[in-house]
Structures are given as C-alpha cells and as structure tokens.
Amino acid sequence: LTTADTFNTSIARWRQSLNEPWNRLRYTLYQANLKRHLPAPPLQILDVGGGSGSDAIPLALQGHTVTLVDYSEKMLAEAHHQAIAQNVADRLTFYQADLASLPTLFPQPTFDLVLCHNVIQYVPDLPAAIQAICAPLLPGGLLSLISINPYSDTFQAALLRLDLDEAHQNLDAREIYTPVFDTTLRRYTAEELIPALEAARCPLLGHYGIRCVTDYIYDNERKYDPEFYDKLQRLELALTDRYPYYLLARLFQLIARKVQSP
C-alpha cells in the first residue's frame, strides 16, 4: 500500500532523479503542452500531489498563484524550501492533505487550473480520485493530468531489458513495481481516464505524449551530452502531439476543460 511514508522515505532518491536529463525533459514538455491551452497570468492554480514543487514553482515565477496539496510532509518541506530559494514563497500556499479531502478543503470551485501530475498511479479508487480532483475547478477551468503510459512498459521490458517474458506476462498487469519510491503503481491507460474525466464533467481538450522516444534509447549516458539532449528535446517537442508517436510515450498528458453549464 502506498502512503505518505512511501514518499517521505524516498525523498533523497526523488531529489536526485529530478536532475536526470529525462526528468528535466519531462517538465519542459509538460510546460510546452500546457502553454498551448493556458490563459495569461495571474491564474489561481491547484497542484494536487505537487511534491517538491517542480511544477508549482515555475508557474509561480510566471506570476500565477499556486496552492500545493500533498500528503507527504517531506515533499512539502522541500517545496517550501525551493519556493523561498526562488523568491516566490508569497505566491504559494501549502496544505498537507490527502487528495480525497479536496472537496472538503475547497467546498466551492475556486481554481482556473488544476494539475495532477504523476499522482493518479498511486491512487486505488480512480473514479473517486478524479471526482475529487475536478471538484475544485471553476466552470471553464482546465485540468492537466499526467500519468505513466502502461503501453510503454511492454517496450521497455522488450527493447531495453530484452526480457520478453516480462513484456508478455505484464501485458494486462494492473500493477507494476517502481524503484524510485519502492512501491507498486497502478497502470491506468488514457482510454480509461478519459471517460472518468467526462463523468466528472471535464471532457478532453488535448492528448499528448511525454517522451515518445527518450525512454527507448538504451544509452542513458548520451542523454547527458548537451548536444544530444538539445536534439532529443527538439524531436520530443515535435512528437508530443503527433499520431501515433504520442500513444507510445513513457507518459501521457491529458488536458481537459470543466463544462460551463450547471
């Protein structure tokens, strides 16, 4: 079972992972995709499971006001520390809470944008979580949801680890192990999430792939080479919304809009 302690005890590994080129690329891509849909600042933004603030702080630097909710005390402490270091602490508010309590924390729709990036895979009750995440959104507000694309597990096992048994056996697996947080995560496809978003009155606006090729390049060392990294970034930015590449990326990003009518 994944709990706040799962994340509290993995903070050092998480911090280290943020400097890896493929993770830097993840934040660049998500920001570029979001930018296509985002109105001008200042917006009221809710970052659900916002972790150490890697999404929230760049948005605060652009002039937005961000509320970060996370159940991990250590993640929140790191986000607070980063906000002070970047001089944006006055644009951020922090709540230590489970995402299930969002409708209680924010009984009225308040936010122009809700982010839920790399969180949903740790949540066992998908429809309840999606309802809770969408509830604080204002009519017409945007949701950005990122999660791991289960299809990419097959390619990683077969192409990187040459483990064809693993690739075959896990085709329909519901859960898979992740070393960063030493826990299992739930595999939700975009096709499962889109109807859950519609049920929460948030139909889809955009479907993007994050890292369409990066995770299938075996040689990780090359990704630290600035020239290679620049070319990789340029290619990934070109593939992120291109069929069929985005369907096979390591992560997907769904942008949805809360319906206007009551």
**Using CB atoms within 10 A of its CB, is residue 164 exposed (0-12), middle (13-18) or buried (19+)?**
exposed
Query: Closer to ligand SAM at the Cβ: 156 or 259?
Result: 156
Least Cβ distance, residue 252 to ligand SAM (angstroms): 13
Residue facing ligand SAM at closest CB distance: 51
Query: Closer to ligand SAM at the Cβ: 21 or 50?
Result: 50
Structure tokens at 104: 């209680």
Q: DSSP of 10-38, one letter per residue?
A: THHHHHHHTTSHHHHHHHHHHHHHHHTTP
d(CA 14, CA 217) in angstroms, rounded, equals 22
Residues that bind ligand SAM (CB under 6 A): 4, 7, 49-51, 54-55, 70-72, 75, 98-99, 117-119, 122-123
d(CA 144, CA 141) in angstroms, rounded, equals 10
Q: How many CA atoms lie within 13 A of 64 on its CB side?
A: 23
Least Cβ distance, residue 39 to ligand SAM (angstroms): 22
Query: Closer to ligand SAM at the Cβ: 99 or 248?
Result: 99
Query: Closer to ligand SAM at the Cβ: 38 or 172?
Result: 38
3-state secondary structure of 1: coil
Least Cβ distance, residue 248 to ligand SAM (angstroms): 21
Least Cβ distance, residue 122 to ligand SAM (angstroms): 4
Type of residue found at 31: Q
d(CA 57, CA 218) in angstroms, rounded, equals 32
Query: Closer to ligand SAM at the Cβ: 126 or 204?
Result: 126
Type of residue found at 179: P
Least Cβ distance, residue 118 to ligand SAM (angstroms): 4
Type of residue found at 10: S
Query: Closer to ligand SAM at the Cβ: 163 or 240?
Result: 240
Least Cβ distance, residue 111 to ligand SAM (angstroms): 15
